[in-house]
Amino acid sequence: MNNQNPKQGTLGERPARGDALNSNVQNSNVQSSNRLRNARQNAPGIESGRAPGAQNRSNPNKDNRTTPMQHPSGSRPPGQPAGQRSAPGVGASRTGGYRPVQMSGSRQTNQSRRMSAPYRGEDYSQMSPEQAAAESRRRAEARMADQRRKLVEETRRRKEEKQRKRVIIGTVTVFAALALIITVTVIILRVAVMPKSQSGAPVDSTTLDPFAPSIETDADGNIVYPDMETVGEGETPADIPIEVPVNAVDDVTEAAPQPPAETTWENYTFNFKADISMYEEYMNPKGDEYLTLINSTHKLEPDYVPDDLVDIIDTRQDGRAVQQIRLYAAKSLEAFLIEARAQGYNDVTVTSGFRNYNYQSQLFNARLLQYSYLGDEKAYAAASKIVAVPGTSEHQSGLCCDMHNLPAADVSFGDTPAGKWMAANCHKFGFIIRYPEGKTDITGITYEPWHFRYIGRYHACKIYERGICLEEYWTSLGRS
């Protein structure tokens, strides 16, 4: 029986068309297998998908070996027995590289896009694994360097901001300290130059009790400016000192000539800058009509009111009522202020003149009300140090006035140019400083450079020449 395949031709015949195709397929598979094996050997680490020496993360104890990939034809490499694994380095390298991951869909598309995206002119798809790793390190180092640079800049900015704040705070502190030092220095100097007689000066009642009621205004609705007389019941003048201080020489206008032993009203003559000859009669009256002493021991009757009161044309224009004093005193005051303006002192005005007994009582009672929380005796003592007891105030006589160029009466007026000139020249017009400095123990009243009393030129010059107060002059005349 012939066992030959019927489809196979005889010797020398050409093989059939199907046999030729099978042979070509087998040869193609063998060639593909050889090419794949060569590619694996030339690209080490492709199958492992890890860097050389990397351990298996899922199982650290498992040997980091690469399972040989199946050939497309299903066969193993030539010369390898069935079931035998490829040795390291044969068919698969363990020296590093990346294992391609089979992905499908959008993940594979995005992966390919990231790998092929250019970075600073580079293209990952054109790099070897070593170049890609180096580029990744370079990128990481660049990011770290940029972060360090930003951190250094932020630290420097914060230090500069803190330094600016320190400079500003230091500058403000220095200026505040300088202002405080200047303020304290001014206060100390002012206290140092303050006259000794001011140590016992009366204090405004508002500084004693912030809840004390305010003083009522007068009938005309004007603010009340009480005098600062500090007289009390039963007080008597102290003994007259033996030595009498001599006042400074008048160097503003022509000095008063030294009167002869027997002085008369006509011996005192002065040359003034302004023409005030029409007032000579009033400045230099004859007789002693205006030489009166009014204090705690020489009181006025409650119903006493002068019958020759006239308006003062130089009353301060701040809403207060026009002040009044007696005729001779008012005319002499006009001459006094005319000469003051001729000397350049234009801002001196009269703030207070005549006060009747009832008005003085209102002022005193208002002070008593303010100090009522101290008790009857202490309230009376405190009030009498600020407002004269009714009947003991010179303002009731109509022969005195308060005048200055300050917002309110203050001892500092005596240190102003206007205050100095008026103190040095008031006797030429028949006035005296009623409560001079250093005579508080005698007058019972603290120094008041704004309080001027009219007594006539003759007696005023006598008092000025001897440097005494009215109480001392009164006693020198043998009057009680």
Q: Which residues are catalytic?
A: 448
Residue type at 206 in one-letter notation: T
Phi and psi at 154, nearest 5°, equal -65, -40
The candidate with the shortest Cα–Cα distance to 440, out of 203, 197, 246, 242, is 197
Structure tokens at 291: 């030489």
Sequence length of the chain is 480
CA distance 367 to 140: 89
For residues 310, 314, 319, 323, the Cα torsion angle rounded to the nearest 10 degrees is -30
Structure tokens at 349: 């005005």
The gap from C-alpha 318 to its chain's centroid, in whole angstroms, comes to 34
Give the three-class secondary structure for 208: coil
Query: In the chain, how long is the greatest CA-to-CA distance?
Result: 198
Phi-psi region of 74 (alpha: psi -120 to 50; beta: other; left: phi over 0): left
CA distance 301 to 391: 6
User: Are the C-beta atoms of 341 and 399 separated by less than 8 Å?
Assistant: no
CA distance 129 to 286: 132
Which residues lie closer than 8 Å to 6 by C-beta, 6 or more apart? none
Distances (CA, A) of 391 to 208, 303, 372, 474: 26, 10, 22, 19
CB atoms within 10 A of CB 225: 16
User: Are the C-beta atoms of 287 and 460 separated by less than 8 Å?
Assistant: no
User: Are the C-beta atoms of 231 and 392 separated by less than 8 Å?
Assistant: yes
Residue type at 139 in one-letter notation: R
